[in-house]
Amino acid sequence: MLSDKKILLIVGGGIAAFRALELIRRLRERGASVTPVLTRAAEQFVTPLSVSALSASKVYRDLFDLTDEAEMGHIELSRAADLIVVAPATANLMARMAQGQADDLATTLLLATDTPVMIAPAMNVRMWEHPATQRNLAVLRGDGILIVGPEEGAMACGEFGPGRLTEVPDILAAIEAHFADGPLAGRHILVTSGPTHEPIDPVRHIANKSSGAQGTAIAAALRDLGARVTFVTGPAEVPPPAGVAVVRVTTARQMADAVQTALPADAAVMAAAVADWRVANASATKMKKDGSGAAPTLEFALNPDILATVSQGADRPGLVVGFAAETNDVVAHATAKRTRKGCDWIVANDVSPATGIMGGAENAVTLITGAGVEEWPRLSKVETARRLAAKIAETLA
């Protein structure tokens, strides 16, 4: 899939820069040519000699290389590639990209190009979660930058959380997915997945049993058909798929905001199990027993109706797919939901405890559309996702 593809690899400065060496090797094994660009900070972690040896290419470092610039080398570099990959993309590099700065070779290349750009962020968890980084991320996503990761895990600084560079095989999968030629190539599809957690106090929350497995499988199936997927996920048990733009959220209100930011899209598949209510009087401190034996009183407020907002909004996708998890009268409830929300399709399933579907590996769904009702057999969630993705591709063709 990567044979004869030209990859311009920009290596940012961070402890994860050493993984760029493996990425170069794996890309070349798959037939791609790699032209590396090192930031000054990256040179503190990997040497130009090692990068040059693995890439079998000159390493570009300085914007003001007179030989290259006499031929407008930075313009040629920025536009000769089939894909520009930034790995690792540090918080600083992302900030400069978002602001349109061009104060070194890397940022000048990124500003002077019309080639697709993919970034793999890597940084300390606090830096990743900082509002400034999240604002920059939203700007980059809005500019059409493809984003891979980051992952959650232990970091070199000793902290744990999101911010680790995505593993090299997953970055490769994302690059290969970008070049995939499928029926959904050129289409942008939004997928929501997982539960939402609504806080009661800093240590307790209201949740549901959704694992996120079905939404994850749908995102992967759409990616495999060539779609550009934005994957908005609550705190799911299963990790997000590689090769999609991942937006992690916790609450329903955060998911509603992320969905609006991700629009416009050609289709939206709203597979998340969003909490209908939140605790209106959530405590800022841990609730304690007072010795009286009385339980605290929780007041509830309605959460945003994300499916109805997308279905009825100004940026409505051409196809909106909702989900209905029911425990009784499945078809009747789901049919009414489709009418009430204004979506095109409803994927309904019976999640009563005896079915083992919520949180399990299989699903048995009924697809309700304007044309009628389709009963699907019980299948693995992966196979269910593939059937749904194929039907979406057929509809959008």
CATH code for position 118: 3.40.50.1950
Average per-residue pLDDT for the chain: 89
Residues 133, 39 share a domain: yes
**What is the pLDDT averaged over residues 4-12?**
92
157 is an active site residue: yes
Residues 260, 152 share a domain: no
CA–CA gap between residue 193 and residue 347 (Å, rounded): 14
Per-residue pLDDT at 68: 55
Q: Residue 143 belongs to what domain range?
A: 1-179
State the catalytic residue, choosing from 72, 80, 156, 157.
157
Residues 333, 273 share a domain: yes
305 annotated binding-site participant = yes
Q: How many CA atoms lie within 13 A of 228 on its CB side?
A: 18
Residues 222, 150 share a domain: no
Residues 192, 171 share a domain: no
286 annotated binding-site participant = yes
CA–CA gap between residue 33 and residue 5 (Å, rounded): 6
Tell me if 288 sits within 8 A of 340, measured CB to CB. Answer: no
Residues 57, 87 share a domain: yes
Per-residue pLDDT at 66: 46
CA–CA gap between residue 49 and residue 58 (Å, rounded): 9
209 annotated binding-site participant = no
Residues 81, 43 share a domain: yes
Q: Which of 179, 204, 236 delimits the end of a domain? A: 179
Residues 6+ apart with CB under 8 A from 217: 381, 382, 384, 385
At residue 74 the predicted structure's pLDDT band, cuts being 50, 70 and 90, is: low
> What pTM does this model have?
0.68
Q: Return the minimum-mean-pLDDT range out of 150-154, 173-177, 206-210.
A: 150-154
Residues 163, 203 share a domain: no
276 annotated binding-site participant = yes
Residues 78, 219 share a domain: no
Q: Residue 91, SS3?
A: helix
At residue 70 the predicted structure's pLDDT band, cuts being 50, 70 and 90, is: low
Token pair listed for 145: 């930058």
341 annotated binding-site participant = yes
Helix (H) or strand (E) holding 312: helix 306-312
Residues 302, 173 share a domain: no
**What is the pLDDT averaged over residues 172-186?**
83
Residues 263, 170 share a domain: no
Per-residue pLDDT at 230: 92
Helix (H) or strand (E) holding 232: strand 228-233
- Looking at residue 247, which CATH number applies to its domain? 3.40.50.10300
289 annotated binding-site participant = no
86-108 pLDDT, tens per residue? 999 999 999 999 999 988 899 99
Q: Structurally, how many domains does the chain consist of? A: 2
Residues 215, 148 share a domain: no
Select from 7, 234, 246 the least CA-distant residue to 146: 246
Per-residue pLDDT at 321: 97
Per-residue pLDDT at 73: 60
Q: What percent of the chain has pLDDT over 90?
A: 56
